Structure 1
Amino acid sequence: MLLSGVVKGTAQDNSRLKVQLKKYNIKWTSQSQNSSESMPLGGGDIGCNVWVENGDLLFYISRTGTFDENNQFLKLGRVRVRMEPNIFKDPNWQFKQELKLYDGYVEIVAKKKIDSVQVALWIDVFNPVVNVEVNSSKKIKITAFYENWRSKDRLLPMNERSACFSYSGYEGDVITYSDSVMYHKNNVLWYHRNRSDKLLFDFCVEQQGLTEVKEELWNPQKNLTFGGALMGNGMAVGKTGKGQYVSSPFKCWSLQSEKARKQHHLQVVLHTAQTPSTEEWKEQLFSVKINETWKKTKQWWHRFWTRSHIFINVDKNDPSDSGWQVGRNYQLFRYMLGCNAYGDYPTKFNGGLFTYDPVFTKQGNTSLHGTPDYRSWGGGSHTAQNQRLVYWPMLKSGDFDMMPSQFDFYSRSLKNTELRTKVYWGHKGCSFTEHPETFGLPAAATWGFDSGPRTRPIETEPGTLYNPWVKLHYTNQLEFAYLILEYYKYSGKDISCYLPFVESALTFFFEHYKYRQRQRSGRFYDDNGKLVIYPSTACETFKEVKNPTDVSAALAAVISAIQRLPDSLMSGHKKQFWKTQARHIPEFNFELYKGDTILVAAKNLPKRINSDIPELYPVFPYGMYGVGRPRLDIPLNTWKSGLLDDRKNYISWHQDPIFCARMGLTEEARKFTELKLSDSGRRFPAFWGPGHDWVPDHNWGGSGMIALQDMLVQYVDDKVYMFPAWPKEWNVDFKLHGPHGLVLQAALVNGVAEELSVMSQRKNEKIIMMLGVKE
C-alpha cells in the first residue's frame, strides 16, 4: 500500500491534543502523607517533587550535574511554604492538587465558598529558576523555609554507599561533606563546593594505576560548585530553626512576608559551574535571568506535546481500563523525561530527578533510613545497560533535542577512556566499561579495593575489572554508537562531534581482540579470518565467553549504519575501511533445538549469573531480525523454545515486550507492555519500581515506551509496517516519528485504520498496513 500526505497541525488538532492530555492530568483531592506521595514537576534540567502535607506545601529540588566529591547525586534541598492563616490545614476548605500536562506545571487550589487560594508551581525551561506563585482572594502572609540536611559532615554508613556507587563495599571512611548556607541580603543562599583533596576522580586515578597520565585526564569534579538562592518580592529575613523530616534532621532558614498580600511570588534560582572561586560562582548565580515570562515556558511544553503522542481507549475515559492506563502512563513518563530536556548530564535510570526519602521505597524486605540524597546504583556512575533504555524511545517520539546530553556523556570523557586503553594494552580505541563515572573511568567498586569484601586479587590484569557481572563488559559503547547513528537517520542533525566516539568504540573491539588473539596464537584472526572475541561477556549473563552474539550484532549494526552516512560526514575512504573490517566480525551463534534453528548467546555457554537475553539482541536493539525481515522463524524459535523462560520478565531493564513487538507477537507484547506501563501502585502512576533499581525506575518506563511504539510502527529499509503487534481491542490515536524526517499520524478504531497522514523527505513511503484499512 502506498500513501503520502501531510501531517495535520491545525489549531483544531492542537485543541484536540489539549483536550486529550487534560484527561491524563493527575488530580488529588486530599493531601499527601509524605514525600512518596509527591508529584513530579520539571523543566529545562530541574525536577521537583511537590506535595502538601499537614497544611504545608513542600518540594524537593534536583538538578542534573550536582555531583559531590564522592560523585553522589545530591539534591539541592527542600522548600516548605506555609500560609498565615494556614488555609491548607483548615478542613473546611476544599483541596485539589493537579499536574497540568499541556502547560507543564502543578496547580494547588483551596476553596471555601467564594474564597480561594491558588498556588502555581512552574519551572523556567530556559533559565534555572523554580517559581511559586500564590494568588488569594483575601490578603495572606506566607513564610518560605529552606531546609537543608547537610549542615554538617556526615559519615556515610556502609548500607548507604550505593548512592556513590564507586565506594560500595569500601572499608575506609566515606563522608558527605556539609553545604554552606547563609542569608544574603533578603535571600537565603546556599552552595556545595567540592573539596579539592577529597575527589573520587583522584581516588580512581590512583586506584587504577593511571597516575602517569593524570594531567591529561579531564576532571569534571574539580572546583565544581552547585546551589542556589531562595528569594521573593516583599520578603524579609525570618527565623532559623531545626527539625526532622522522616529519618533526616535538618536546619532551616526562612523568609517571611513583610505584609499580607493577595499575591506572592517566590523564586528558587539555581546555578552549577566549575569556577576558580565561590565568589565567582556567586556572581554568576545572581546574574541568572529571573524575570522571564511564564508564557515562553508554556509554549515550550505545547511544542513538546505536538511532536508526538499515543492515546489509547480515550473514548472510554476509564482509568481502570488497562489500555487507557498504558496510554496515560506513556504520556506521564514522557513528561518526566521532558523535565531534563537540556541537562548537561543524561536523565539517570535510577530515579531521574524525582527520587524521595528512601524509607518509602522499600526495596526487597528492607527499608533504608537514609537521607533524601540516597538512591541505589549511584549518582554519577552511569550504568549503560539501563541508561540506553531511557533514550531509545526519544527517536520515535521525536524528542531529538533531548538526546545530546546522553551522547555528550561519552564524547566528553572519550580521551580519558582512550588513555586508559593505551596505558593498559598499548593499542587504540576507547574502553568504556559498564559502570563508568562521569569522567569515564570505571567505578572504583567494579575495579576492586585493597581490602574488604571486594578485594581485588593481586594477579588481576591491569585494566580488567574485578566484578563478576561487568567484567569484560564494553559492549554498550557500541550500542550508544549505534544510537547516535540512528539519531542521525531519524533527525538529520549534525553528528560530526560524536563520530570520533563512534569510530573509537569500534576501534577498541578490533584492536583489543586482535591483541588478545596474538597473545594466544601469534596471529590476529582465526583460520577463517575472523576476530576471536575472547574472553568476553554476553551482556551480564554469560561470562568468559567466546564470540558473543550481542557483540557481533553490535559491530555489524554500527558498521552497516556508517556505510549509510553521507560523504560530508564520513569520507568514502573511511567507510571502505570499516566495510573491510566488517569481514572479520564473527558469525552469529546458532544451534538446532528440537529440529528448529535457534540463536545462542555465545560460542560457549558457561554458567549464567544474570537474566539478560543476549541471544535476541539481533532483534532489539540491532533490528537484524523481526517483522518484515528474513528468517523471522529463527528468533521466534528461540523465544518459544522454553530455554529462555526463566529469564523472561518485565520489571526494570527487562526488554521482553520489545522483543515480542519486534517479532509480531501481539498478545505477548500486550501482556508484557501492560505489566510495564500499568499503574505503579504508588500515588503517582508512573513512579514504577524499585524492581532491580530504584523509584521511580526510569529504564522500566523507557523500555515500556519503546515496546508500545514498536507495537504501533516499525521501519524496515524503505517500508513502514503499521500495527505489527497491536491488539485490535485497543483503539488508538497516535503520532510518531521515523527515519528521514518521517512523521506518521493515524488512528485505529474498532480494528480499522483511518485518518492516516504522512510527512516525509522521501516522495513515497511504502506503508504496509497489518490490520484492515477503512475504504
Structure 2
Amino acid sequence: MEWKSQLEKYKGIFNEPPKQVPSKKVVDGPIIGNGDIGVVLSGPPEQQRVWISKTDFWKSELIYTKGSPSLIGGIDIYIPELSGASYYSEQRLLDAKVVSTFRGAASTVTMTAWVSATDNAVVVELACVEGTATVSLDLWTKSGHDSQTDAGTETDVTWATRVFNGAELEWPTAGAIAMRCLSESSTSFELKPGGITHIISYVLTNHDVDTYLQESVASVKRFDESRLNELYAKHEDWWQHFWAKSAIDIGDELLEKFWYGSHYIMASCSRNKSFPPGLFGSWITTDSPAWAGDYHLNYNFQAPWWGVYSSNHIELSEPYDAPLLEYVPNGKRYAEQYLGKNGIYYDVGIGPKGLPTALSNTEASRKYEHGHLFLGQKSNAAYTTINMLMRFYATYDLQYASQIAYPYALEVADFWESYLAFEDNRYVIYRDAIHEVGTWEESHPNDDWLQEFEDMNPILTLGLLRAVFKGLLDMSNELGLDVNRRDKWSHILMHMSEFPTFERDGKTIFRLTEQGRSWWDSNTLAIQHIWPAGAIGLDSDSQLLEIARNTISVINRWTDYNGFPTIFTAAARVGYDPAIILHQLRHQCLEHSFPNLFIYFGGGGIECCSGVPSAINEMLLQSHEQVIRLFPVWPNERNAQFMTLRAVGAFLVSSELKDGMIQFVEITSERGRVCRLFNPWPDGALSIVEINGNKQEAIDWKLVEDVIVFATKADRHYRLQPTTIASPHFLC
C-alpha cells in the first residue's frame, strides 16, 4: 500500500475566495500550521490576507467570555494587476502547503505558502508566470480589546507586536511578527516574468522566550536561500514521517480524503505541549471566538484527539494534558470549598496555565454555583480522564501512567469515592446534571429548572466512572501502586448502578438518567457511555448490545449540532449496520464540510476532527476489550486494507480484507504483551512467524474460544496468515 500516492490526490480545492474569514468559529479558507502557529488565507487575488495566530496567544482575563485565545495579526499582499483575476488554490496534505494561482487579464501570479514544521517561520513565495506584478506588503497586528500594539523597521526587517498586559489579567501575553523579503530591500517591489521572491515571517511570544521581539527579528535576518532550502527539507521530512505512521485504503475516496484531512488539521494545530488548541484550533481570526474558544470539558476539549490514538499519532495528543494538570489546584479547592469533598471538581470550561474561563458574575451563577459555570455537572474531571486512559491502553507507557495518567485519575477517584452514595447494595450518583443547566440566565420565574441538579444516575457519568475505576485498577497493577485501594475500586465497579433504560418508539433504549430528565431529542448524551467512555462493546451482553443499537436507531442523530464525534464511533463500537454508518458518514462529509476539509456543525470546531478517523478505525479494527478484531463492523463484500493502526496493548496492526477473506495480519508488539486476536480464519489452519531483522521463526500459539493467543517480545514483528492463501503483498 503506497501512502504517498494516496496523499498526493487528496487536497482541499478552492475555486473562489473563502467567505467565512474572519470567523468566530471555524474558518473556511486554506489552512496551514505547524501545531503552534496557524495560518489561514483569505481575500481576492489582488489583496491576499495571511492571518497569523498562535496557540499560546491568550488574553487571560477572568469572567466568561473575556478570557480567550486572540489574534496576533497578519500580512496583506497587494497586487493591483490581479484585480478581477481568477482564483484557484490547493491545500496540499502531502507536503502541508497551499499553492494558489491567480490569472488576470495581463498578469498571472502563483503564491505558495507553508509554515515550517520544525521552526516558527511562515514562508510565502510569489512567482510571476506572465506579465509583471507590482507588489506591496503590509504587516499588521490586531488592535483593540485592551491590547497595546507597536511596529517598526530594522534595516530590511519589518516588525509588529501586540501585547496584553493589563492589571486585570492573570498573566501577560505578548507576541511579535517579524517580516523580510529575501530578494527585495523593501516591502514594495515589482515582479517581472519568471521572477520569484520569498516573504519570510517569524513569530514568537513571551511564552516562547522573554526576548520574543529581538529573537523574531534576529531569526528573520539569518534567512538566506540556503537556510530556506534547509528548512523546507526538514519540513518535508517531518510531514513524510508523519504520514508514514498509518494509512487506510477503503475504496472510498471521499471518506479517505476526510480521514487524512482530519489528521492534517490536528497535526497543523496540536503540537505545542504547553498550549493545546482551543475549540477552533490555531486559526483564530477574532478576539471574541464563540464560547470563549476555550477548553470545554464536557466533551469539546477531549473530542479532537479521539481518533489519533488508534491512528498511531500519539504524539498529537501530548498537548492535551497540560491545562488539566495545571488546573488541579483550582479543582481541589473547588471540591473542598463548594462540596466538602476530596479530589478535583472542574468547571465546564478552563484555559491554559490554570486560567478559570468559566467564572460568571450573573445573579444566577452567584446564587447557585458560587460564581462559576459548573452548569450542574460533576462529571467534567472524570470525562477528561478518558483521553489519558485511551493513551495508556494504546501504549502501555508506564512512565506516562506513573507521571500523568495515574496521579490525575487518583484525584478524580478521590472525588467520586467521597461523593458516591452507597445505598441498597449499589453506588448512586445524586445532583449531577446530565446536560448543562443555564445558570447564566439572569432570572428565573421559579426554581423548577433546578430539578436538573437533582438528576440521579446520569448515564454518561455511570459510564465514565466505570472507565476511571477500571483504568485505575489496571494502572495500579502495572505500576505496583496502591494495593490497599484496589478492593474499594473493585467494589465500586461491581456495585455501580446499572444503566437506566425505558421504552421509546416501541424499543427498549437507554434513558439519560434513572431519575430526572429521561430524554433529549437534539443530543447524543444517551450513547456517550458507549463512546468515548467505552462501557459497552462487541463482547458485552447481547441484551445490552441490543439496547445500544436500539438507542442509536431511536436517536437517529447522524446530523447533530454536537454529536458528530460520538454517534458514528459508538455505532461501530456496538456493531450497528456498517452500510448505514458509511452512508451517513459520507453524507455528513458532503453536506457539512468546507473545502479546507474541516467538518463543521454548530457546536465546536476541531472536535469534528475525530469523527471520521475514530469511526473508520473502529470499523476496521477493534481492541478495547483486549482482543483484536479485524474488520469487525465492515461490509464483507467491500475490499479494504489498513497499515499500522494502533490496538490496545501497544500493538501496531496491518491487515487486508479482499474478496470477503482476510488475507493476512501483521503485528508489531511495542511492549511484549500477550496478544489476543479473534480468529479471522476459523475454517482453516494458520501460521504465526516472529520476525527479528532478517531472522524469521515460527512460534507457538493456542486457540481459546475462537481467540488466537500468543506471547510476544518487545519491538518484534509478527506475521499471521492462513496456510491456504498465497502470500500477499504486505503493507509494512
Give TM-score scaled by structure 1 length.
Answer: 0.74
Q: Distance in 2 between matches of 1:353 and 1:302?
A: 22
**What residue number does 2:516 align with?**
605
* Residue type of the alignment partner of 2:36: D
- What is the alpha-carbon distance in structure 1 between the residues aligned to residue 412 and residue 674 of structure 2? 35
What is the letter of the counterpart of residue 271 of structure 2?
A: Y
Among 49, 52, 67, the alignment partner of 2:40 is 49
**Residue 273 of structure 1 corresponds to which residue in structure 2?**
206
Q: Tell me the amino acid that sits aligned with residue 403 of structure 2.
A: C
What is the Cα deviation at residue 568 of structure 1? 6.8
Q: Secondary structure at the match of 1:126?
A: coil
CA contact (8 A) 2:295 2:349 kept: yes
User: Given the alignment of the two structures, is residue 559 of structure 1 paired with residue 550 of structure 2, yes or no?
Assistant: no
Alignment of 1:355-370 (within 5 A): none
1:698 equivalent in alignment to 2:606: yes
Q: Which runs of 5+ in 1 are unaligned?
A: 1-12, 154-174, 202-221, 238-254, 314-322, 357-371, 518-524
Tell me if 1:256 matches 2:256: no
Offset of residue 727 of structure 1: 3.0
Q: Does 1:183 align with 2:150?
A: no
**In structure 2, distance between residues paired with 1:37 and 1:531:** 47
Equivalent residue of 1:378, what SS?
helix
1:38 aligned onto 2:8: no
User: Which among 256, 263, 272 is matched to residue 334 of structure 1?
Assistant: 263
> Residues of 2 paired with 1:610 and 1:575: CA distance?
40
Question: d(CA) in 1 for partners of 2:235 and 2:386?
Answer: 33
What does 1:217-228 correspond to in 2, within 5 Å? 222-228=171-177
**CA offsets per residue over residues 200-230 of structure 1, 9 Å max, x none?**
x4xxxxxxxxxxxxxxxxxxxx132123212
Q: Take 2:151 and 2:518, find their aligned partners in 1: how far apart are those partners? A: 53
Please say if residues 394 and 650 of structure 2, whose CA atoms lie closer than 8 Å, have aligned partners that are also in contact.
yes
- Is residue 53 of structure 2 the alignment partner of residue 62 of structure 1? yes
1:75-224 map, 5 Å? 75-83=71-79, 86=81, 88-89=82-83, 96-109=88-101, 118-136=110-128, 142-150=135-143, 153=144, 175-199=145-169, 201=170, 222-224=171-173
The reply on whether 1:283 has 2:214 as its aligned counterpart is: yes
Contact 1:652 1:699 in 2 (8 A): no
Alpha-carbon offset, residue 130 of structure 1: 0.6
Q: 1:671 to 1:58 in 2, by over 3 A?
A: same
- Which of 382, 405, 427 pairs up with 2:319? 405
Report if aligned partners of 1:720, 1:768 keep a CA contact under 8 Å in 2: no
Q: How many Å separate the matches in 1 of 2:90 and 2:681?
A: 39
CA contact (8 A) 1:510 1:531 kept: no
Residue type at the aligned position of 2:613? M
1:587 corresponding residue in structure 2: 497
Aligned to 2:243, the other structure's residue is in SS state: helix
Contact 1:418–1:428 (CA<8 Å) still a contact in 2? yes
Match of 1:616 in 2: 527
CA shift in 2, pair 1:584/1:195, >3 Å: farther
CA drift of 1:646 comes to: 7.2
1:298-309 to 2 correspondence within 5 Å? 298-309=236-247
Q: Which of 380, 388, 405 is the aligned partner of 1:476? A: 380
| AA partner of residue 38 (structure 2) | G
For the pair 1:711 / 2:610, whether they are aligned, the reply is no
- Aligned partners of 1:421 and 1:599: how far apart in 2? 30
Relative to 1, partners in 2 of residues 1:577 and 1:146: Cα closer, same or farther, differing over 3 Å?
farther
Q: Distance in 2 between matches of 1:663 and 1:559?
A: 22
| SS class of match (1:605) | coil
**CA separation of 1:609 and 1:664: change in aligned 2, threshold 3 A:** closer
**Is 1:722 the counterpart of 2:655 in the alignment?**
no
Letter in structure 1 aligned against 2:407: P
Partner Cα distance (2:502, 2:14) in 1: 56
CA drift of 1:389 comes to: 1.4
Name the SS for the 1:657 alignment partner. Answer: helix
The range that moved more, 301-310 or 259-268, is 259-268
Question: What amino acid is aligned across from residue 526 of structure 1 in structure 2?
Answer: E
Q: Which of residues 321, 324, 327 in structure 1 aligns to 2:253? A: 324
What SS class does the counterpart of residue 307 from structure 1 fall into? Answer: coil
- From 322, 338, 342, give the equivalent of 1:428: 342
Q: CA deviation at 1:722?
A: 1.7
Cα distance change, pair 645–612 in 1 and its aligned pair in 2 (3 A): closer
Q: Deviations over 1:133-157 (max 9, x none)?
A: 334568866422224442xx3xxxx
Is the CA contact (8 Å cut-off) linking 2:360 and 2:366 kept in structure 1?
Answer: no
Instruction: Indicate yes or no: 2:431 matched with 1:535.
Output: yes
How big is the shift at 1:705?
Answer: 2.4
Rate the CA distance shift 1:636–1:285 in 2: closer, same or farther, 3 A: same
The 3-state SS of whatever aligns with 2:338 is helix
Shift of 1:105: 1.3
The letter of the residue matching 2:293 is G
Percent sequence identity over matched residues?
A: 16
Higher relative contact order (CA 8 A, sep 6+): 1
Distance 1:180 1:484, change over 3 A: same
2:181 to 227, 232, 235: 232
- Classify 1:287/1:481 alpha carbon distance in 2 versus 1 (closer, same or farther; 3 Å): farther
> Residue 263 of structure 1 aligns to which amino acid in structure 2?
I
Change in CA separation of 1:623 and 1:177 when aligned onto 2, cut-off 3 Å: same
Asked whether the 8 Å contact 1:752–1:771 carries over to 2, the reply is no
Residues 543, 311 of structure 1: CA spacing in aligned structure 2 closer, same or farther, 3 A cutoff?
Answer: farther
Cα separation, 1, equivalents of 2:435 and 2:322: 23
Q: Is this contact kept in 1: 2:429–2:457, CA < 8 A? A: yes
Q: Helix, strand or coil for the counterpart of 2:299?
A: helix
Segment of structure 1 superposing worse, 335-344 or 69-78: 69-78
Deviations 1:174-205 (A, max 9, x none): x4434333334433322222223122x4xxxx
Distance (Å, rounded) in 2 between the aligned partners of 1:491 and 1:74? 35
Query: Are the counterparts in 2 of residues 44 and 128 from structure 1 also a CA contact under 8 Å?
Result: no
Which residue of 2 is the match for residue 576 of structure 1?
486
Distance 1:754 1:349, change over 3 A: farther
Indicate the SS of the match to 2:677.
strand
Which residue in the other structure is 1:503 paired with?
410
Give, as a single letter, the amino acid of the residue that structure 1 aligns with 2:563. Answer: W
Aligned-residue offset at 1:266:
1.3
- Residue 657 of structure 2 aligns with an amino acid whose one-letter code is L
Using the alignment, how far apart are the partners of 2:310 and 2:87 within structure 1? Answer: 38
3-state secondary structure, aligned to 1:325: helix
The amino acid that maps onto 1:586 is M
1:101 Cα offset (Å): 1.5
Which residue in the other structure is 1:160 paired with? none
Q: Which moved more, 1:60-69 or 1:177-186?
A: 177-186
The aligned amino acid for 1:688 is I
Q: Is the 8 A contact 1:44 1:341 kept in 2?
A: yes
| Cα shift at 1:304 | 0.9
